Amino acid sequence: MSNEGAGPGGLLFVVSAPSGTGKTTVVERLVEICPNLHRSRSYTSRPPRPGEADGVDYNFISRSAFEAMVAREEFLEWADVFGNLYGTARRDTEAALAAGRDVVLVIGVQGAHQVRGRVSGTVGIFVLPPSFQALETRLRGRCQDEPAAISRRLETARSEVSAVDAYEYVVVNDTLDQCVAELAAIVTAERARRTRRQREVNGIVKTFEER
Ligand code: 5GP
């Protein structure tokens, strides 16, 4: 599957970050301010946390339903994260891109690696917390997980951060506004690539041709 060139297909952005970095909030704000950018809603076998709703935060499904989707090869990518299964439905993403919409996936580093191998032209953005200590403070502060789960997430964060070199862009989530503004700038810059606007460019250049 190709995501490059001057065709009508949309752009695929993949945003990864260690959990607790605030990437979900950041990307929610991003899609609010960027026209024609759509966030793909992942499927997960994890039960909803307080305040999370099915079809809003995730499509929450049972482990057996998830495994059936895997067997039917319905996922563009999927991964086991902290013992729960998470995946991006192939159909949703391909339909949006084919319709010329730009899509943003918020997925872990394993999933991002799979997507990169399957969709050429994927734009990877890694959201880094300002430091390990800042991430730890945030995770403990949100009080959503048991201390043992927090320690596990922090350990995972160490290996996730080591995958940063595979991404085209890095944004440090220091303040929310600045982080969202940088992400929007990346989207704008990627959309402005000459190769992606070739048809439009050709049309304009043509108006300059001597008669
Ligand atoms: P959480 O349970 O905190 O919502 O998410 C845990 C981890 O799962 C995060 O690192 C998040 O990026 C990752 N994740 C969420 N959705 C997907 C998905 O569709 N695919 C993959 N590979 N990872 C996901």
Closest CA to 129 of 151, 158, 106: 158
| pLDDT at site 9 | 87
Q: Is 152 in the pocket of ligand 1 (CB under 6 A)?
A: no
At position 69, the amino acid (one-letter code) is M
| pLDDT at site 149 | 86
| pLDDT at site 26 | 93
| pLDDT at site 3 | 58
Give the span between the Cα atoms of 163 and 125, in whole angstroms.
11
> From the alpha carbon of 19, which atom of ligand 1 is closest?
10
| pLDDT at site 2 | 56
Partnered with residue 169 across adjacent β-strands are 125
> From the alpha carbon of 20, which atom of ligand 1 is closest?
3
Give the span between the Cα atoms of 42 and 126, in whole angstroms.
18
* d(CA 107, ligand 1 centre) in Å: 5
Cβ contact 66:106 at 8 Å: no
User: For the chain, what is the radius of gyration of the CA atoms?
Assistant: 18
How would you class 121 by CB atoms within 10 Å of its CB: exposed for 0-12, middle for 13-18, buried for 19 or more? middle
Q: Within a 10 A sphere around the Cβ of 91, how many other Cβ atoms?
A: 10
* d(CA 126, ligand 1 centre) in Å: 14
Q: Is 110 in the pocket of ligand 1 (CB under 6 A)?
A: yes
The preferred substitution site among 81, 119, 160 for testing ligand 1, maximizing ligand atoms within 8 Å of CB, is 81
Closest CA to ligand 1's atom 2: 46
Q: Is 114 in the pocket of ligand 1 (CB under 6 A)?
A: no
DSSP letter (8 states) at residue 40: P
Please identify every stretch of the chain with a pLDDT value under 50, giving residue numbers as ranges. Answer: 5-7
Closest CA to ligand 1's atom 16: 107
pLDDT by residue (tens digit) across 112-150? 999 999 998 999 999 999 999 999 998 888 777 788 988
Looking at 8-62, which runs of residues are DSSP E strands? 12-16, 37-39, 43-44, 59-60
| pLDDT at site 141 | 87
